Structure 1
Amino acid sequence: MREIVFDTETTGVNPTTGDRMVEIGCVELVNRCPTGREYHAYFNPERSMPSEAEAVHGLSTIFLSDKPLFGDKCEELLDFVGDAPLIAHNATFDFGFLNHELERCGRDPVCLSRMICTLVLARSKHPGAKHSLDALCTRFGVDRTARVKHGALLDAQLLAQVYVELTGGRQIGFSLLADASSAADIAVQATSIARPAARPVRTPRPHAPSLDELEAHAQFMSRIKDPVWASIPAS
């Protein structure tokens, strides 16, 4: 199954009031494994970058001034994405900006049925915990030391690892075997673990009491006055 994990950076939080997408990063997964195929692009937003947004991702008006418009890269992006499900953290935000840019180009928006939100998955799996990307990386042991500022491609790469963990983790097993001989080796190991070597048969030891033990028991019982069992009627 092919899936695309993606992230965006923007000039703000609301595309309907003039904010624009300035960066997108995509990571391809096939059967929950990164294939190495990625898509990354910066876009000229045709407006200035607010200082608050620049503080988050570090993308300035000057840096973006010579970048292509979204419309110039639209076909390239859509070709990469194809018809795969799209995975994002707080996905309604990213889908909102992506679809706004597509509509500006006269293209159909991406159907929301393709949306998978890792924030929703994390809240369902770990209610009450912190669900930011940083917090989830810490929870699952994903190395985020390179994440000094937000970046669409880096965040998509981190999110791809988090998504794999949220959906069951990596299964190290037969699908990763290099050849059939390795499969046979593991099968032998599994058999040896499931069926331990037979233990040597020992001769049963006698457990009947000796005459001395029987006499000691009788003496002990004779010292008990009004035992409870004496009041139980014989069947």
Structure 2
Amino acid sequence: MSLPPKIETLRRASVFNKKTRKRAIEKLKKDKSYLMKCLKEDIKENIIFRNYEDYLISVVLEEENKMQRFKPFPRQKAFSSKDFLSYYIQDLKNTPKEGKIRKVGVFDTETTDITGYIISYAVVIQDMEDLSTKEIYELLNPEAKISEEAFSVHKISQEELKNKPTFKEKKDEILNIFNSLDMVVGHNVLYDFGVLKRELERINHFPNVIDIPIFDTMYYAADVVVLEKKKMPRLEEAIAFFFGKKNINYHNALEDVKATLKVFNKLLES
């Protein structure tokens, strides 16, 4: 039975770091006997795994006596991102320190238009242990025209970009950033991944960057942020709900990722 896109997006968040995920999956490929025992015990009607790959990894760590495996939960609870968030936080707390996500990168782009190319991108990398951060911000020459509508939003002009590097010139640097992360965080980050995919396809490059775990603050905040009308919260609405109205230069990629990081950290306190 297929699940709504909201749930599938929520399920992409991982509590495990890249090294732990890779090691556990490699071990499972060699011996699935303990996993099959666990699945027989855990799979019942109307349940859902928060993240099935995380479940697999927790089974490996349980077999190694490092933690108890994650349990599935009632399917109906998955329809509330508030419930989903509580399960994520619980799983994160139950994960041994050496296995937890350590390096997350908050990602955002600004583009020539809604289906266009990148003119700026930003990543704030946060160490989840000490909460230290590193900021990356870059303007790019999109080699395409910026629409008037897009300019009215981000205020980045064609003239400003004419001597900037192209995406092709920065591609390896960008991909190396993603390869260094345990998880990518963003507010409607699937849109930005779509932009990144479009840029890569334009230069005939097809890596699986979209396969990285993601934590989308828009989806996770959907049933946490209270609005007059039930809908997915915009970033500024999430900030206002948690912190009050702030004077932030929204639609600047760096300012947006710094605001998104605040929302992400606040959600994990819930």
TM-score when scaled to structure 2? 0.56
1:136: how far off?
1.0
Q: Contact 1:12/1:53 (CA < 8 Å) preserved in 2?
A: yes
Find the counterpart in structure 2 of residue 161 from structure 1. 262
1:122: how far off?
0.7
Find the counterpart in structure 1 of residue 73 from structure 2. none
Which of 87, 94, 112 is 1:11 aligned to?
112
1:10: how far off?
0.6
- The one-letter code matched in structure 2 to 1:91 is V
Find the counterpart in structure 2 of residue 101 from structure 1. 199
Residue 122 (1) aligns with residue 209 (2):
no
Q: Distance in 2 between matches of 1:34 and 1:124?
A: 26
Q: Distance in 1 between matches of 2:212 and 2:103?
A: 15
Find the counterpart in structure 1 of residue 160 from structure 2. 63
DSSP-derived class of the 2:144 partner: coil
Find the counterpart in structure 2 of residue 90 from structure 1. 188
DSSP-derived class of the 1:38 partner: strand
Q: Contact 2:109/2:119 (CA < 8 Å) preserved in 1?
A: yes
- The one-letter code matched in structure 2 to 1:119 is M
Q: Which structure has the larger Rg over C-alpha atoms?
A: 1
Query: Quick one: structure 1 residues 117 and 33, their matched pair in 2 at CA, closer, same or farther if it must change by over 3 Å?
Result: farther
Q: Contact 1:39/1:77 (CA < 8 Å) preserved in 2?
A: no
Which of 202, 210, 215 is 1:111 aligned to?
210
Query: Quick one: structure 1 residues 33 and 156, their matched pair in 2 at CA, closer, same or farther if it must change by over 3 Å?
Result: farther
Q: Contact 2:193/2:210 (CA < 8 Å) preserved in 1?
A: no
Across the aligned residues of Structure 1 and Structure 2, the Cα RMSD in angstroms comes to 2.1
- The one-letter code matched in structure 2 to 1:92 is L
More off after superposition, 121-130 vs 61-70: 121-130
Query: Quick one: structure 1 residues 108 and 87, their matched pair in 2 at CA, closer, same or farther if it must change by over 3 Å?
Result: same
Q: Contact 2:183/2:214 (CA < 8 Å) preserved in 1?
A: yes
DSSP-derived class of the 2:246 partner: coil
Q: Contact 1:8/1:21 (CA < 8 Å) preserved in 2?
A: yes
- The one-letter code matched in structure 1 to 2:269 is G
Query: Quick one: structure 1 residues 109 and 65, their matched pair in 2 at CA, closer, same or farther if it must change by over 3 Å?
Result: farther
Find the counterpart in structure 1 of residue 169 from structure 2. 72
Q: Distance in 2 between matches of 1:5 and 1:143?
A: 21
- Unaligned regions of 5+ residues in structure 2, if any? 1-101
Residue 137 (1) aligns with residue 239 (2):
yes
Which of 132, 139, 162 is 1:35 aligned to?
132
Q: Distance in 2 between matches of 1:142 and 1:153?
A: 20
Percent of aligned pairs sharing the same letter:
27
Query: Quick one: structure 1 residues 43 and 65, their matched pair in 2 at CA, closer, same or farther if it must change by over 3 Å?
Result: same
Q: Distance in 2 between matches of 1:132 and 1:97?
A: 19
DSSP-derived class of the 1:8 partner: strand
Q: Contact 1:118/1:163 (CA < 8 Å) preserved in 2?
A: yes
1:154-233 alignment to 2 at 5 Å?
154-168=255-269
Residue 45 (1) aligns with residue 178 (2):
no
Q: Distance in 2 between matches of 1:163 and 1:10?
A: 23
Q: Distance in 2 between matches of 1:132 and 1:98?
A: 21
Q: Distance in 2 between matches of 1:153 and 1:43?
A: 14
1:63: how far off?
0.9
- The one-letter code matched in structure 1 to 2:246 is R
Q: Distance in 2 between matches of 1:142 and 1:110?
A: 35
Query: Quick one: structure 1 residues 151 and 32, their matched pair in 2 at CA, closer, same or farther if it must change by over 3 Å?
Result: farther
